[in-house]
Amino acid sequence: MDKKLDIAVIGSGMAGLATARILKDAGHNITVFEALPGRGMDSHTIEFDGGMIDVPLRVMNPYLWKNTLSLATHLGIDTFPVRTYMSCSWLFEEKTETWLTTSRAPIGNFPIINNRKGLQQYGVRLVKGMLQLKSAIYRFFKSKHQDITLTEFINKNEIEEVFWHGAVMPVLYTICTCNPETIGEWPAKPLLVFLQQLTNGDQLLRLKGGTPAFVNKLIEGVDIQSGSAVTKVELQGEKVYVENEAGFKQLFDRTIVATPTNKLEDFLDKDQFAEDIELLKQFKFEEGDLVIHTDSSVMPPRRKDWSVLSYMMDRKFTKQQFTVWMNAVEPTLVGKEAVFQTWRPVTPIDPKKVVSTVKLSRAVVNWQTVELNNELQRRQKAVDRKVYFCGSWSCDGLPILESAVTSAMQIAKNLGAPLPFVGLKPKVEVAPELGY
C-alpha cells in the first residue's frame, strides 16, 4: 500500500506500540490512543531504592522471543545475558524445606543440580524426568497427530511426577500467566516447542534499560493521546471516526484496535461491528495478581539457597507459588534491599512490605481460540477492511510479548507495510555484575 494513511491505534500495550512503530516507519501518520496517563506497555515499571523494577520482568530466550528481540535490535536496543538459577521448596509444613537448587553450566548454559540433598533425594528422578520429557517431545513431533491438548499429552506419556509437577509445570504457569486449572486445555504444540527450546541451554537475555527503553523507541515520533479512554469508533463512509473522553475527535483511513476483546463494546459501534463483536467476545480472559514486595518469606529459608527463580509447592503439587529475585537480574538493583515479584502468592505477604500489586490479564487458550483466530485472520484479509484487531490474544502461542509482536506483524502484512527487522540477531553486551 503506497498511499500515506492516517491510522489510529487504540491501546499502547506491546501489540499497539509494535503496530504503531512498523506503520510509522512505513510512512503513515499514526495516532495512539491510551486510556492510562502514560504508556500501557511500561505503565507498571517503577523506581525502587534508586533502581528500576520492570513489571512484569522480561527475560527472553532468543529463539522463543525472536520477533521481539529482532524489533528491539532494529531500534538500536542492546541486550545483556542473565543466568536464571532456580530453587524449589516444599510449602505448608512445619518448616519450609528447599529440596532443589540449580545453577547454570559456564559452557552451554545447561542447568546443574548443585545441592547435595537435591542430588541424593531427587537427582535420579529429575534426570529421569528430563530424559522422559525429551523422548516424549521427540515422539510428539514425529507423530502425525499433534492436535492434542497438554493434558492429553501428559496422559499419553509417563513422565516422572517430581520433575513434571515440581519443575516443568511451575515454569509454564508463570510464562503463560494463567491458572493451573486452564493450562491443560492449551494446545500442546506451542508449549512443547517452548519446553524444547528451554531445555536446549540457549542464553537468556534482557533488554538494556528494560521495558521503558523499548517503549521510548517504539513511540518515537508517534502522536499519543493518553489519559483518556476511547468512547466511540464508527465507520463514516470511507473513513473511521474515533473519539475519546477528552473530546479529541478525528477521521482516520484505518484503525487498529489493540485492546483486550472484553473492552470492545465500550466504544465500537454495536450495529456496524455486530459480527466482529460477536466473534471477539468469545475470547475469554483470566486475571492474576503480581505482587512486588520485600518480604523474603517467599524465598528459601537459607540465604545461600536463594536463586533468581524460587518455586514453592506442596508435596501433592496442588498449590504452587513463583517468585523472581529482582536484584539478581536487574543491574540497577545490585547492592540494594532485596526485592521480589511473586505471581499469584499463596502464602501471605506482609502488607507493610508490599511495594505494588499489579493485575495481569491474558486470554484463555484452547482449541476454540484457535478456531476464533483463524476466522479473525480470514476476515482481516479483506481488501476493503477499515478496522483491524490485534493483541497477544490473537496468536495461539507464547510468550505473551512475542505473540503481541507477531500480531502486529500480521496487521502490517495486511496493510502492505515492510518488516525490515525480521531475522536480525540481538546485539549482546558483556554481562553486568548482578546480585546472585
User: Do the annotations mark residue 34 as ligand-binding?
Assistant: yes
Give all strands of the β-sheet with 223-226 in edge-to-edge order. Answer: 223-226, 29-34, 6-10, 254-257, 387-389
Round to whole Å and give the CA distance between 230 and 408: 20
User: Do the annotations mark residue 35 as ligand-binding?
Assistant: yes
Half-sphere exposure of 155 (CA within 13 A, CB side): 7
- The rounded Cα 270 to chain-centroid distance in angstroms is 31
Contact 133/164 with Cβ under 8 angstroms?
Answer: yes
Structural element, H or E, at residue 16:
helix 14-25
Residues paired with 242 in a beta bridge: 233, 250
User: Do the annotations mark residue 230 as ligand-binding?
Assistant: yes
Scanning 77-221, the segments in alpha helix (DSSP H) are: 116-117, 123-142, 150-156, 161-163, 169-176, 180-183, 188-198, 210-218
Contact 365/83 with Cβ under 8 angstroms?
Answer: no
For residue 79 the three cell numbers come to 541486550
Question: Residues annotated as binding site?
Answer: 34-35, 230
Q: Which residues are annotated as a binding site for FAD?
A: 34-35, 230
